[in-house]
Structures are given as C-alpha cells and as structure tokens.
Amino acid sequence: MPINKGIILAQARNLYYNPGMCADVSSFSSHFLRAVGQPLQTGVSLARHSSFQIGGPADYFFEARKTEELVRALALARREGVPYHVIGGGTNLLFDDRGFRGLVIKNGIKEIRLCEDDVLAVQSGSTLKEFLQFCVEKKRQGLEFLAGIPGTVGGAVYGNAGAFGQCIGSFLFDVRLLSISGRTLTRPAEEMEFSYRDSLLKRSGDILLEARFRLKEGDPEVMRRTMSEHIAGREKKHPPYTVASAGSYFKNPFPPRKQAAAAVLLEKAGAKELKHGGASVSPIHANFIVNTGHATAADVRALAEELKERVRKRFGVELEEEVIYLPADSSGP
C-alpha cells in the first residue's frame, strides 16, 4: 500500500491532540481572540479555499497575515489540543467532504525583499505569481519555469513544485521554519531533502515561514518572454484554469521518463473515458481529475482508485498521488 503522506503529516502535526479539552467553540474562540488578537471564523467551507472547489466545513478557520499571528495561533492550537493544518492557496489539496475537525490556517503572510547581500527573501504566503513578478522587477532570473503554477511559495517548497525538469528546491539558498515545537530556525537548502515533488517538510511537520534565493542577474524582457511561452504551453496541454482541479493528480513514476509519464500511462489505460459522480478525467490531459460541478471528495478518490487499478493491471506500475488528501479527523493518536 502506498503511504498517504497527508494522513501521516496531519498526525505528526497533531501529537498533542486531546479530544474534549476544547470542545467548547465559544471558549476556544475567545481564547483565540485574546492570544492572537484576531477573530476566529467557524464553520467555514473549505471548498472556497480549494482549487478543486471541494470540501466541507472547517470547525475553525483563520487567515494569518502576520508571522506573529501564525506563531501564536499554532501555539494556542497545540496548547489546547486542537488539530490544525496550515494551507497556502489550496491548489494541491483535496479536502474531505466532512471538512476538518480542528483549525485550518490559511497563510496570507506576504512580503518579498531584495536584501543587501543580493538574496531574495520571500515570505511563504506570497504567491508564485507575486514572487515571479518581483524577480522580473529586480532582474533576477532562474525561476521562470514556475510561471503558471498556482499557489504560494510555502506550498511550492513543501511539494518541491516544478515543471520542465526543474524544481524550486534547486534554487533555494536557505529557509526559515517554525518547528513543530514552536521554535523558529534557519536551515540551509541542502538539509531540506528535496527530491521529485518531495521535501523534508512532508515528514517534519515544520511550517515554512520564509524562503531565500540567490538568483543570477537577468534581462527582464527575456524573462517575460520565457514565462509567457511557458504559460502558453500550459494553456495548450492543460485544461483551462477556470476548470476546478488540483493540477496533475498523480506523480510521474520514478525515474520520470517521457514514456513513463503518468499522463501517458493513464491515457493508454483508457482514463479519458472515465468518470465517477461529478469527478471526471479531463479530456485534455489524462492526469487531471476535474470537478465537473458537483464532485465530492469521495467521487475524486473513487475515480483515482479506478485509475490506479487500470494502470497497475495494464503496466504493473503503482501510481502515487501528488494531490494531498486531508481527512477530516486527521487528529492523531
């Protein structure tokens, strides 16, 4: 059985879960207001925070706009034994139809600076689009391959996002993290165990606060042109951005070779004819599961199982999900 890293991570993040300690909604909400200085929302639809447009309500929801707010919110959740999960743009996640029994924190912490030592420091809630725009303004090249990938820098570093054989982790200099014990620390990029769609963050449960890059000087015109070409290429190969999905559903089988790309295997296995409830395989790209309007997480997962089964039978290849499923009760032991 493939490991569901989403469940393991959620469990790792909730070691302190102690059901019952915080059963009283109004008491947790008032604690939160005192500790964080901002009001907490309750019963927020996670579908609204997911590019899949799927997911039931989170018991508690908060959008952090400052690092101190994030640090305090997480410290309180740990202290009170409330399960939590930090999200960015929600573009690589499948939320549970039952939502999330605990606190979902959306990372809205955005600041990008060019530091004196020629280092670009980006706070993890900034979107890749905002960061690339800043790189163009400051004439710093190298990350153009990320153009068109939605979501935040935090989500991109977590999953070592990339395209065209390049990944964000290869360009990082170091990262500032909030550890699971609430400590902030800096780690050089070499310690982050980056590999294809993987990083140490998937195992440690640490939260990325800031990523720092050292990039070469570039010509903004050339950078703009390269990014436009990448985006145009995506528009040809992928379903339009208006279609609800979370990007490629499965990782390419390792080592990623063209003939072994998940989309190729899926297409040969007849994936494009398949659907389940409101979830169907995109007719444009066999590795995109799309929400045709009323899909549930159960529909998506049932379709994904069928796709895996077809590829397993036909090619003996075990596909692994790239999209992360967050179960409602990922509350640990």
Q: How far is the CB of 31 from ligand FAD (least distance, A)?
A: 23
Query: Considering beta carbons, is residue 128 or 269 the nearer one to ligand FAD?
Result: 128
Residue 188 structure tokens: 């050089």
Q: How far is the CB of 89 from ligand FAD (least distance, A)?
A: 3
Q: Does residue 248 carry a catalytic annotation?
A: yes
Please state, in angstroms and rounded to a whole number, the distance separating the CA atoms of residues 149 and 156. Answer: 9
What one-letter code names the amino acid at 87?
I
Query: Considering beta carbons, is residue 130 or 139 the nearer one to ligand FAD?
Result: 130
Please state, in angstroms and rounded to a whole number, the distance separating the CA atoms of residues 153 and 151. Answer: 7
Is the bond leading into 327 cis (omega within 30 degrees of zero)? no
Kindly report the number of other CB atoms within 10 A of residue 222's CB atom. Answer: 11
Q: How far is the CB of 158 from ligand FAD (least distance, A)?
A: 4
Angle value at C-alpha 218, between 214 and 220, nearest 5 degrees:
120
Residue numbers at the binding site for ligand FAD (CB under 6 A): 51, 85-93, 107, 124, 149-152, 154-156, 158-159, 161-163, 201, 207-208, 241, 245-247, 324
Task: Write out the DSSP string of 26-49.
Answer: HHHHHHHHHHHSSPPEEEEEGGGG
Catalytic residue among 63, 210, 321, 322: 322
Query: Considering beta carbons, is residue 31 or 187 the nearer one to ligand FAD?
Result: 187
Catalytic residue among 50, 51, 248, 330: 248
Q: Which position has the token pair 């399960």?
A: 83
Please state, in angstroms and rounded to a whole number, the distance separating the CA atoms of residues 3 and 10. Answer: 13
Query: Considering beta carbons, is residue 24 or 254 the nearer one to ligand FAD?
Result: 254
Query: Considering beta carbons, is residue 124 or 296 the nearer one to ligand FAD?
Result: 124
Q: How far is the CB of 197 from ligand FAD (least distance, A)?
A: 6
Q: How far is the CB of 314 from ligand FAD (least distance, A)?
A: 25
Catalytic residue among 72, 176, 197, 212: 197
Residue 133 structure tokens: 């725009």
- Give the residue from 248, 313, 308, 237 showing the smallest Cα distance to 276: 308
Could you list the active site residues?
A: 197, 248, 322
